[in-house]
Structure 1
Amino acid sequence: MARIAPRTSVAPERLKTLIPSLKPTIYHDPGTNKTPNNIRTIAWNPLGNYIATGCLDKTLRVWNADKPNVRQSTELKGHTASIEKVAFNPVKELELCSVSSDGVVRFWDVKSKQVLNEIKGLGETFTLAWAPHGGCVVVGNKEDKLFVLSSKQSIPISTHQQPVQTNNITFCWSSERIFTTTGDGKTRILLFPSFEPAYQFDYKDEQDAELLLAGHTSSCIAVELHPFNRYLATGGTDSLIALWETTEWNCVRTATKMTGPVRSLSFSFDGLYIVGGSDEGAGMEIFNSETGEHLCTYKTMTPSSVVAWAPNRYAIAYADSGSLRVIGASTGGK
């Protein structure tokens, strides 16, 4: 990979010329399906030295970020349907959670390839958010049920039926709230673990009105929190990225250069930049989160709907032509 000094911010004028010039590292798995939409989910571990990918063809693999040869990766076998979401425990280097449409959620010790725990019978699960303290996850299914799960318990801690179509979820950094995106273009702010609305207004003609972030004209499908809690970013099928400040919850700016639905969002480690992925268009779009300015398009061979910025440097993992690829700074391994 081309090297940029880790933990060093790059000015927007420099980044907009640097990113398009980078050549990707390709992580090639000859045994997986190479259709463009095969990779459904990508996640970095907390140290940024491993990357997990989950695929439509049921392949679940963890790659060493500096060793793209498939022989240096770890395949985790057991799911019987598409892997819809993966996430590493935020406080453990190699504990992974995987969510599949087979209705099974698994917790893995990647080093030993052992299943630490599994929870079955959850329906067609497709969303996942790990609490920042690492103690539990929230998983959602296509019947709009949210489950609180533990890596140590074989049944859900609690189940919460949602009143609207729920597309995606993420935690706040204190683990006291979750944000859920909905099919009507809004984002809900819920207390955790009660799942009650965090903010309500007592109107004369409508009691207990819930504060909703209404920033999209159609379904809201992506959500990501700024690493220093400055903004909540949401993306919709209307091709918009909305940035909300987290004090009064006003929409302070929108990014409008996406082509097609915003399927994934990711902030850079310093929060200065945000990348959006879509299953339409010619590449990844990168924006300045402080201004909303579109900085550049990183061209890809096929539309890149899954994007994830590394947690500690300017490196972006993304799906292209059915393979995992990374542009940016190396971790420095051999």
Structure 2
Amino acid sequence: MSRSEPSFDDLRSYFRSHSKIREQRAHISKVHSVFWNADGRFLASGSFDKTVAVYSLERDRFQKHHTFRGHTASVDQLCWHRTNPDLLATASGDKTVRIWDVRQGKCASVINTKGENINITWSPDGKTIAVGNKEDLITFIDTRTNKIRVEEPFTFEVNEISWNNTNDLFFLTNGFGCMHVLSYPSLEHQVTLKAHPANCICIEFGPTGKYFATGSADAQVSLWDAHELACLRMISRLEWPVRTISFSHDEKLIASASEDLIIDVAYTETGERVTDIHVEASTFTIAWHPKQYLLAYACDEKDPERRRDAGNVKIYGFSE
């Protein structure tokens, strides 16, 4: 696609000829999380099988690069350093956070935490990792020392966490359909935003910093102005709780997925559907490439007894 700003019609036309899927199997059980690194050369996935897989992407070639082992429980979520393309962090039920160096092919640090970790995010300035556990305790790790800086307990169900792009606000989604916005680094409460009438499950900030979005058990995606903290529109085509959302590199597209057998790809400016990706099972993790219209995703096991789809990671958006 040309470097000029793509219109809705441009994007619809583009995906008519770029709907091919590449697939890799690197795990033996369900994939919980997929995430691209900063320069888009590597994709990582974390699995119930306790491993972390890293794949390389060169032109149209999508292949397994390395498997990291060391966690003793499920790897529930992972994230890359925002600017260093070789550093990857993982959150696990084994009560640790691990930082992996892809260039060296090994674990660079293990940080012990107090509970079974379920979500993780890396600050935009690269200095802090925040990890949340099943007891709704958020632990902030100083990545210059790999030591815990502060632990912050919450009295409500925390589903997902994120900094804004300017690193001065910290967001938490909760079980009452709200987003709690804290100042950072003071962690003082600023405002509670009512986003949905049901459980607010996931949150994602767009790469350019213009938008952020939340997904909810009400089967809707709410799109927000990141500067005004004002809701702009709702996207309401899925029928099941929205488990995962992702913005494209230019924020022109937002993808959302659930237990529906499609991944919805919407035009951010209007909420109109650009395309949908048909899948064979529930999809709980998706991630757009940081430079191209390539969407990575992983589905649940289509047939749990035969485990035919367990461990598969796919990328949509290659030319036919």
TM-score normalised by length of structure 2: 0.90
- Tell me by how many angstroms 1:149 deviates: 0.7
Correspondence for 2:11 among 12, 15, 20 = 15
Over the aligned positions, Cα root-mean-square deviation in angstroms equals 1.8
Q: Which residue of 2 aligns with 1:203?
A: none
Task: Say whether 1:267 aligns with 2:256.
Answer: no
CA distance in 2, matches of 1:194, 1:307: 31
Correspondence for 1:250 among 210, 227, 230 = 230
Q: Does structure 1 conserve the Cα–Cα contact (< 8 Å) formed by 2:98 and 2:107?
A: yes
Q: Does structure 1 conserve the Cα–Cα contact (< 8 Å) formed by 2:158 and 2:174?
A: yes
Structure 2: gaps (5+ residues): 300-308
Task: Say whether 1:214 aligns with 2:194.
Answer: yes
Q: Deviations over 1:176-227 (max 9, x none)?
A: 11111011100111111221113xxxxxxxxxxxx22112111101101122
CA distance in 2, matches of 1:90, 1:288: 25
Q: Which residue of 2 aligns with 1:234?
A: 214
CA distance in 1, matches of 2:265, 2:201: 18
Q: Deviations over 1:117-176 (max 9, x none)?
A: 111133111111100111111111111111111334354111001131111011111211
From the superposition, tell whether residues 130 and 142 of structure 1 become closer, same or farther in structure 2 (CA, over 3 Å): same
CA distance in 1, matches of 2:279, 2:130: 32
Q: Which residue of 2 aligns with 1:87?
A: 79
- Tell me by how many angstroms 1:301 deviates: 2.2
Report % sequence identity.
28
Correspondence for 2:313 among 317, 324, 327 = 324
Give the residue type in structure 2 aligned to 1:116: A
Q: Which residue of 2 aligns with 1:202?
A: none
Correspondence for 2:187 among 188, 195, 199 = 195
Q: Does structure 2 conserve the Cα–Cα contact (< 8 Å) formed by 1:8 and 1:313?
A: no
CA distance in 2, matches of 1:23, 1:59: 27
Task: Say whether 1:33 aligns with 2:25.
Answer: no
CA distance in 2, matches of 1:146, 1:183: 16
Q: Which moved more, 1:320-329 or 1:156-165?
A: 320-329
From the superposition, tell whether residues 52 and 184 of structure 1 become closer, same or farther in structure 2 (CA, over 3 Å): same
TM-score normalised by length of structure 1: 0.87
SS in 2 for 1:14: helix
Correspondence for 2:88 among 83, 96, 111 = 96
Structure number having the greater strand percentage: 2
- Tell me by how many angstroms 1:40 deviates: 0.2
- Tell me by how many angstroms 1:259 deviates: 2.7
Paired residues in the alignment total 306
Task: Say whether 1:139 aligns with 2:131.
Answer: yes
Q: Which moved more, 1:12-21 or 1:61-70?
A: 12-21
Q: Deviations over 1:281-326 (max 9, x none)?
A: 1121011111112222111122222110011111111113331111
Structure 1: gaps (5+ residues): 199-210
Correspondence for 1:297 among 251, 263, 276 = 276
Q: Deviations over 1:71-113 (max 9, x none)?
A: xx11111001110111111121111101101111001111212
Correspondence for 1:312 among 284, 291, 308 = 291
Q: Which residue of 2 aligns with 1:285?
A: 264
Correspondence for 2:62 among 51, 55, 68 = 68
